Structure 1
């Protein structure tokens, strides 16, 4: 007689792994801003964001991008910053703050925005097509959608130069974190699909570029904050143990690793007139 098979849970766990409610979220926002805000602001400049523009920052997380947009559009413009948990945003920061789920909720102020932007949001959202449709519906004719997301499958390593045990351990832990993200509904190949996804959403003049940071304090501090943030989940899933995590964090703190990230793919397109 064969042994009974374990029951399969029909409802996958799509809770956001890197939840804003955790204390490490603020540290992650700080180092993500250090790594990528210059890239994002460069795209804002390329798209012509300027005085009087109306902008929606989707899944804002921290304050840096909404503050940059508010400075760019000035007092004659308008910036809306939304998140499913807007606790890290500043309602006195020169932009409006709204709790909003880009999948479940209708677009705020549809058809009115000159720019809609989301960074490192859709990769974690299982229903990405609906989220994109919501953002496109918020654009005025001629308005721009800018989506920036990682492609972890394109470059899956934590240490490109795997020269010894510390680097091998870092790459094992990065694979474990990727496994957790996949189990939570993340699409680790999403970044490369952005140009096609924007065209499928009806946008015109679609272009894209990539950014690939390697080494430095920001990569180290982001890695440490992320590993501490998901430590309990890694242990509960049996993907590592306390000794391996402690040894990795010690190597990061000692500056022994040239850590890197998955490429950030930025893609933009215009709602046709």
Structure 2
């Protein structure tokens, strides 16, 4: 089956029914992301580009840190949620990182979380992000490595956990079919060095279970449901059972490790 896309994303990031799981993503990963920002040294007067503005939680943190003398540009295909924080020093723009020129140059910080693994032309997107940095500017890219931990429930103790892992396997197969790299996260340090960055370092963050993980999984399955069923990867009945189990709060559901890699433009 041939898929026609009007954007460079592997799954439509603007679904009409499921919405985008902004709150769950923020609850899972904001604390880790902000810790990296603090380590990098984001401070007053910095110019920052947030690729994939999402719900705006990262924009809000950056705005407080850079202050009135700084600048924060948030870009995304869907800016409806991020626009709520679009006041100085924050500017929000509709933008496709795989197809359009960067929204400026000379940034002190460029950050993308769970963006590059979701686009078809990751190399082009990364090129644009590095190009937008000033000499000495910092790039922080955070993305999943599904192959490092491919299970929904690492402790598969019964039918409920087996179903969770079956659905997660279907999601992996669907994304692989559409061009995803399940080991992309672990490649980030090398890719940053090959892009000319120096002082490259990385670490992994691995939430094992939390209500936010279940909420994120619910949104992902709802978003991909029609494609999963159309390709006979998961049945509608399985999805209904799985969504009910997720809502019960009884699954110890894990996320794939989030690999955070950062470096400085020479």
Give yes or no for contact 1:60–1:66 (8 Å, CA) kept in 2.
yes
Cα distance in structure 1, aligned partners of 2:221 and 2:186: 25
Q: CA deviation at 1:185?
A: 1.7
Does the 8 Å CA contact 2:49/2:109 hold for their aligned counterparts? yes
Query: Greater Rg, structure 1 or structure 2?
Result: 1
Residue 184 of structure 1 is matched in structure 2 by 178
| TM-score of the superposed pair, with normalisation by structure 2 | 0.93
Q: Contact between 2:151 and 2:254, CA under 8 Å: does it hold in 1?
A: yes
* Correspondence for 1:5: none
Which segments of 5 or more consecutive residues in structure 2 lack a partner in the other structure? none
Q: Work out whether residues 60 and 85 of structure 2, in 8 Å CA contact, stay in contact via their aligned partners in 1.
A: no
C-alpha distance in structure 1 between counterparts of 2:42 and 2:213, whole Å: 29
Counterpart of 1:264 (choices 247, 258, 261) is: 258
Matches within 5 A, 1:11-160: 15-26=9-20, 28-90=21-83, 92-94=85-87, 95-110=90-105, 112-160=106-154
Is 140-149 or 54-63 further displaced after alignment? 54-63
> What TM-score comes out, normalization by structure 1 length?
0.91
CA distance in 1 between counterparts of 2:58 and 2:17 reads 20
For residue 252 of structure 1, give the secondary structure of its aligned residue in structure 2.
Answer: helix
The structure-2 alpha-carbon separation of the partners of 1:88 and 1:20, relative to structure 1 and needing over 3 Å to count, comes to: farther
Check the 8 A contact 2:206/2:255 in 1, yes or no: yes
Q: Would the aligned equivalents of 1:18 and 1:25 in 2 still touch at CA under 8 Å?
A: no
Relative to 1, partners in 2 of residues 1:170 and 1:18: Cα closer, same or farther, differing over 3 Å? farther
Deviations 1:201-232 (Å, cap 9, x if unpaired)?
00000000110001121111111222122111
Structure 1 segments, 4+ long, off by >4 Å, are: 11-15
* Number of residue pairs aligned between Structure 1 and Structure 2: 262
Distance in 1, Cα, partners of 2:170 & 2:67: 44
Q: State the 1:65 CA deviation.
A: 0.8
Please tell me whether the aligned partners of residues 142 and 259 of structure 2 are also in contact (alpha carbons under 8 angstroms).
Answer: yes
RMSD over equivalenced CA pairs, Å: 1.7
1:132 Cα deviation after fit: 1.1
Superposed, which structure 2 residues align to 1:190-205 within 5 Å? 190-205=184-199
C-alpha displacement at 1:92, in angstroms?
Answer: 4.6
3-state SS of 1:33 partner: helix
Gaps spanning 5+ residues in structure 1: where? 1-7
Q: Deviations over 1:189-210 (max 9, x none)?
A: 1000000000000000000011
